[in-house]
Structure 1
Amino acid sequence: MLEPLEKPSIVAIYVRVSTEEQALHGYSIDAQLDTLREYCKLYNKEIYDEYVDRGISGKSTEKRYELQRMLKDAQMGLFNEVLVWKINRLARNTYDLLGITQMLSKHSVAFTSFSERFDTGSAMGKFALQMMGAVGELERNTIVDNVKMGLSKRAKTGKHNGKVPLGYKTVEVPGERGRNRDSRVEIVPEEVVIVTKIFERFAAGQGFKSIANQLNHEGYGTKSGNAFSICGVKEILDNPFYVGKIRYNRFEQWSEKRRKGRNPKPIIENGLHPPIISEELWNKVQYLRQKKAVVSLKRFDGEFLLTWLIRCPKCGGPMVANRIQNRQKDGSKITRLYYSCSNFRNKGSKVCSANSIRKQEAEQYVVKRVKEVLAQPQILKAVVSNINERKAKRTKPLQQELDSITARIAQLEEKRQRYFELYEIDQLDRELFSKRLDDINAELDRLHAKKSELTFELQDDNPEPVSYEVVRTLLKKFDELLDSSPFEQRKTLMHLVIKKITIKDTRTVDKIEMNFDENTVQHFLAADPSATHAEGSFALRMRRALAGQKIWFAI
């Protein structure tokens, strides 16, 4: 009996290096690629493609467009093995590593590490993989702890970490042989005026919105040139940097918890920088901040489905719930519900106007418009035609930008090679050669990152035309769920499916921009009250139709 032929090994090579790793440890993308290519050549493995993330940290999968592209290709069955130089090139935390390898295994794609060779298909191999992932995570956490220790030491000696706030600037201090080894903080006089106004006005009894509105009317801006907001004013009033203090470790685990990770005991030490605000004024402001900390929550009658979806016709900002009480002739009060511009409510009349639109009219229009489109096939066919025309037009400029970046990368690679040749024949001194090479490598990292992003975007934007039946079925399902679901599900559905709602100057709805993808379809199925089982019949039909597509259109 003939043995079945062994399936040929088609390999996807994945390499990654962060900027810090290349600088500190000499890790090189080219060295990794050369090693893995030789390995494939030695074992007669066919290389399908090389996926390269340059200058990107491995702490998460975010912004790693080449990794995301590789995973999509794996799901499509374009190769049957992923090859990396070391396991920590794929992920530096155990959760991501196991999630990626599990997904690869689900699609019958083997995972191989050149440096740590073991069979991930066996129980011992899986255990070894978990241990190596844990070691990689421990290594990264140790580096993070060491960096935090160094930053904490700086803070405790009165030195700043990171960017300085409005009112200050950093000036580099030359060290040995002209190298910049440290920096000092100096006052910016024109910005000091703004900071002083904020503290003095709050101490005089003005509120956050009033201060922001007045500063914007006077033509002042934040350090980045934006208009002042309530949050911006609060941040300045709460920052002890202005009274000559250094505050460090205000938030812990920022990348995971954001502002929820507030540290109750941050490091606060006397700083080496000059203060802008006196102790007396600072203490007065902090006392008032504590007094005003407890604010009664506004209660809004009714349920607002479209908050942050409707866009202001004047500034384009999101519109939020607003309640206005009017007194009748008989002395009674009547409450009217609106959507109003969030920039006006947050930053004042200098930035925008209320541009309110009645809540009931806006929400009724959205539902009515969907029903109209479903009831008139000629309108929906025109919508589908517009979708396909937009998809065709979108691809061309992205491809042109990608071609331009690819050509620039080739020029820089050639230029880098010429510098190597000049250096080898002693036509360039070492210091000049090193500087030129660093500049070229920095630009190459930036261009490769952009190239990966564009490639992923082009791949994600499937050029295949969308069928009329697909869009009609999606809109029908959307309409059915709006009629049958409770409020919380309807609001979630609105924010999942509707990208934005624009309104005219006449304060009536102009158009509704909608967005459907595979995740949207899954959400429909989960929320469908008529489904008799986990996925329902809709799943089998629509998953094939939407495979690899994202549908965006306006009605």
Structure 2
Amino acid sequence: MRKVSKIEPISPSLPPRKKVAAYARVSMETERLNHSLSAQVSYYSNLIQSNPEWEYAGVYADNAVTGTKSSSREEFQRMLEDCEAGKIDIILTKSISRFARNTVDLLEAVRHLKELGIEVRFEKEHINSLSGDGEVMLTLLASFAQEEVRSLSENVKWGTRKRFEQGIPNGRFLIYGYRWEGDHLVVEPEEAKIVRLIYDNFLKGLSAEATEKQLEEMGAKSMKGMHFPNSSIRAILKNITYTGNLLFQKEYTLDPISKKTRKNHGELPQYFVENTHEAIIPMETYQAVQAEIARRQELGALANWSINTSCFTSKIKCGLCGASFVRNTRKNRAKTSQLGERYTFYGCGTNKRKGAHCFSGTIREDVLKEECAKALGLPEFDEDTFSGRVAKVTIPATGTMVFELTDGTSFEHHWSRNAKKESWTAERRKAVSEYRRSRETGWKCYHTFTHFIKCGRCGANYRCQTHKRVDGTVVRSWYCSSPTAVDCSKVGIREDTLKALIADVMGLPEFDEELFNQQLAYATVPADNEIAFHFRDGHEVSRTFAQKRQMPRHTEERKKHMSEVMKAKWRERHAEND
């Protein structure tokens, strides 16, 4: 008997729909261009949704944003993020100039999208980024778009210079102390009082920082209602607009692609327009302030009376990097006097900057004075004689000083010292030996608790670390010194907390170093918040202590808020500099 099988019809499977998005941009905030942007968004929305093979993935639109920098276009960046997340397969855009006017940015974006398998279609130029000759055509046409930006920029600059030649400012810039009424600057009385105060303070010898504190106490605010920083005060002191005159083209843009600005130090012509508005500061006062600024810049730190200076300030220079030697103090480990005494020395200022280092040596202040006296032929060092005769002293290497005198002559002076050997006298050797024996800590013990605290997990000694607070006070903390022990959490104990615990276990009202050395042998830290004290008579006492509170990480909202604050400050500073 025949066997018959029924074959069911197969339903044709439809190919998956492509996720299609569009990108639109206009570069200026005008009614006409806003209408153009709306038209682009509406056009692409209808186009994508009317195609049955496409799935609508949205329209990304940047309004009033330049196309020369992709990083400044929020919607463009959001579109790239969605592409990386797999939400887009095809991007439609009107033209190359709408997508990017910077050739490098355009090619980087298109190549990145090509690696992701995402196609970009440029309607006006009929270019598909995934086609064989797509990148070649994009490179050529993007270069034309970039050059078009340069051409437009040059035309704008030409028009701006023509207005400058006629005494017309480039827009209504913001400046503290004035307001625009029509095409004229009008004095704002309350802010004008602050401007006059700033100039008067400077001529009286006060620094911008001192004026900043005074304005803070007065409750004076900037034009945007924010804190009055010393940078804005310095900008006001240099702004000639307060004399009733205008100076045009104080800054210029390097190129329309990077949009970086530079101060005009003679690279381009400037235009000085006299008597354009009411003056707040007389021209004589303004010129006196500029002369005082130049004088203070030449003197450097010596011009600031609030800084503790000496005859060596700004005169001792490093022969390796050219920076000035600065005054420092540190613990004296070389004298025969009691341990812990501090002395003064000079070292290269480069080492004061974070992340910088100079390999020049240091020189003690007493040695510097002694050698300067020898070099100048003086029986003893005299500050007035040194200041009057010496213009600069360069130290190219330890043991060498090059003197440049005020009469134009110069000479080298050499010296050699063996301070460490000379200082290791019998008295100092005896003092150090007695201290080491009392602590049983090994050699080079210069802190009270050195080698006293031991880690209960890895057995390593605790070491001291110091940091300075905002108010200038120095805080010491002790941490496990093992660099490899993974079980150690590196939670430390502050020295003031340690002293309070020792006084508590010894039954004393406050810490006594002499009794401490007599009774306690060592301490161990078995856990992060526990410490055990071992007495010399054999008994042990444990105590718990509060761990140092860790500062929480900034949230994304906090970071965004601080970013907006910094942008607002920058805009205010930029506006006041114009």
1:274 is aligned to 2:278: yes
Deviation of residue 264 (structure 1)?
A: 1.3
Deviation of residue 124 (structure 1)?
A: 3.4
Deviation of residue 237 (structure 1)?
A: 0.9
Alignment partner, residue 135 of structure 1: 144
Q: Report the TM-score, using the length of structure 2 for normalisation.
A: 0.49
- CA deviations 1:128-172 (Å, max 9, x no partner) are 212222232233333333333333333333333342311111012
Using the alignment, how far apart are the partners of 1:327 and 1:192 within structure 2? 51
1:14 is aligned to 2:23: yes
Alignment partner, residue 178 of structure 2: 168
Partner of 1:16: helix, strand, or coil? strand
- CA deviations 1:454-478 (Å, max 9, x no partner) are xxxxxxxxxxxxxxxxxxxxxxxxx
1:263 is aligned to 2:273: no
Q: How does 1:207-226 map to 2 (within 5 A)?
A: 207-226=207-226
Using the alignment, how far apart are the partners of 1:55 and 1:515 within structure 2? 30
Using the alignment, how far apart are the partners of 1:374 and 1:65 within structure 2? 45
Using the alignment, how far apart are the partners of 1:354 and 1:262 within structure 2? 34
Using the alignment, how far apart are the partners of 1:290 and 1:45 within structure 2? 68
AA of the residue aligned to 1:264: H
User: Structure 1 stretch 64-73 or stretch 20-29: which is displaced more?
Assistant: 20-29
- CA deviations 1:16-41 (Å, max 9, x no partner) are 22344653695233345315632674
**1:58 and 1:92 in contact (8 A); partners too:** yes
Deviation of residue 109 (structure 1)?
A: 0.7
Using the alignment, how far apart are the partners of 1:273 and 1:256 within structure 2? 35
1:48 is aligned to 2:74: no
AA of the residue aligned to 2:272: E
1:290 is aligned to 2:294: yes
CA distance 1:92–1:98, shift in 2 (3 Å): same
**1:338 and 1:356 in contact (8 A); partners too:** no
Q: How does 1:192-203 map to 2 (within 5 A)?
A: 192-203=192-203
AA of the residue aligned to 1:234: R
Alignment partner, residue 33 of structure 1: 42
CA distance 1:60–1:157, shift in 2 (3 Å): same
1:513 is aligned to 2:550: no
**1:9 and 1:46 in contact (8 A); partners too:** yes
Using the alignment, how far apart are the partners of 2:191 and 2:485 within structure 1? 55
User: Structure 1 stretch 15-24 or stretch 159-168: which is displaced more?
Assistant: 15-24
CA distance 1:16–1:24, shift in 2 (3 Å): closer
- CA deviations 1:347-403 (Å, max 9, x no partner) are xxxxxx943464875xx88x99x9999867xxxxxxxxxxxxxxxxxxxxxxxxxxx
Deviation of residue 227 (structure 1)?
A: 2.8
**1:15 and 1:29 in contact (8 A); partners too:** no
Deviation of residue 267 (structure 1)?
A: 2.2
Using the alignment, how far apart are the partners of 1:512 and 1:338 within structure 2? 28
CA distance 1:143–1:65, shift in 2 (3 Å): same
Alignment partner, residue 186 of structure 2: 186
CA distance 1:49–1:31, shift in 2 (3 Å): closer
Using the alignment, how far apart are the partners of 1:103 and 1:297 within structure 2? 52
AA of the residue aligned to 2:293: R
Deviation of residue 198 (structure 1)?
A: 1.3
Alignment partner, residue 386 of structure 1: none
Partner of 1:11: helix, strand, or coil? strand
Partner of 1:217: helix, strand, or coil? helix
Partner of 1:88: helix, strand, or coil? helix
Deviation of residue 185 (structure 1)?
A: 0.8
**2:172 and 2:180 in contact (8 A); partners too:** no
**1:18 and 1:58 in contact (8 A); partners too:** yes
Deviation of residue 50 (structure 1)?
A: 2.4
CA distance 1:285–1:374, shift in 2 (3 Å): farther
Q: Unaligned regions of 5+ residues in structure 1, if any?
A: 173-182, 299-321, 340-352, 377-505, 517-555
CA distance 1:148–1:323, shift in 2 (3 Å): farther
CA distance 1:39–1:226, shift in 2 (3 Å): closer
AA of the residue aligned to 2:210: S
Deviation of residue 241 (structure 1)?
A: 0.8
Alignment partner, residue 144 of structure 1: 153
Q: How does 1:353-372 map to 2 (within 5 A)?
A: 354-356=470-472, 358=474
Alignment partner, residue 494 of structure 1: none
CA distance 1:24–1:75, shift in 2 (3 Å): closer
Deviation of residue 110 (structure 1)?
A: 1.0
CA distance 1:257–1:10, shift in 2 (3 Å): closer
Alignment partner, residue 57 of structure 1: 66
CA distance 1:325–1:206, shift in 2 (3 Å): farther
Using the alignment, how far apart are the partners of 1:227 and 1:324 within structure 2? 33
Using the alignment, how far apart are the partners of 2:551 and 2:261 within structure 1? 36
AA of the residue aligned to 2:174: V
Alignment partner, residue 102 of structure 1: 111
Q: How does 1:297-312 map to 2 (within 5 A)?
A: none
AA of the residue aligned to 2:265: P
Larger Cα Rg: Structure 1 or Structure 2? 2
AA of the residue aligned to 1:253: T
AA of the residue aligned to 1:197: L
Alignment partner, residue 474 of structure 1: none
**2:45 and 2:58 in contact (8 A); partners too:** no
Partner of 1:261: helix, strand, or coil? strand
CA distance 1:267–1:372, shift in 2 (3 Å): farther
Using the alignment, how far apart are the partners of 2:219 and 2:552 within structure 1? 35
Which one scores higher on RCO, CA 8 angstroms, separation ≥ 6?
1
AA of the residue aligned to 1:103: H
Using the alignment, how far apart are the partners of 2:328 and 2:172 within structure 1? 44
Partner of 1:46: helix, strand, or coil? strand
**2:216 and 2:228 in contact (8 A); partners too:** yes
Q: How does 1:459-474 map to 2 (within 5 A)?
A: none
**2:253 and 2:261 in contact (8 A); partners too:** no
Q: Unaligned regions of 5+ residues in structure 2, if any?
A: 1-12, 303-325, 354-468, 490-545, 557-578
Using the alignment, how far apart are the partners of 1:235 and 1:107 within structure 2? 49
CA distance 1:38–1:514, shift in 2 (3 Å): closer
Using the alignment, how far apart are the partners of 1:510 and 1:39 within structure 2? 53
Deviation of residue 64 (structure 1)?
A: 2.6
Using the alignment, how far apart are the partners of 1:323 and 1:510 within structure 2? 34
CA distance 1:72–1:259, shift in 2 (3 Å): closer
AA of the residue aligned to 2:153: V
AA of the residue aligned to 2:263: R
Using the alignment, how far apart are the partners of 2:259 and 2:123 within structure 1? 37
1:23 aligned to which of 27, 32, 38 = 32
Q: Report the TM-score, using the length of structure 1 for normalisation.
A: 0.51
AA of the residue aligned to 2:192: V
1:332 aligned to which of 333, 343, 354 = 343
CA distance 1:214–1:39, shift in 2 (3 Å): closer
Deviation of residue 257 (structure 1)?
A: 7.1
Using the alignment, how far apart are the partners of 1:258 and 1:212 within structure 2? 32
- CA deviations 1:86-105 (Å, max 9, x no partner) are 22222122121111111101
**2:28 and 2:65 in contact (8 A); partners too:** yes
Deviation of residue 279 (structure 1)?
A: 1.7
Deviation of residue 323 (structure 1)?
A: 9.5
Using the alignment, how far apart are the partners of 2:486 and 2:163 within structure 1? 63
**2:329 and 2:343 in contact (8 A); partners too:** no
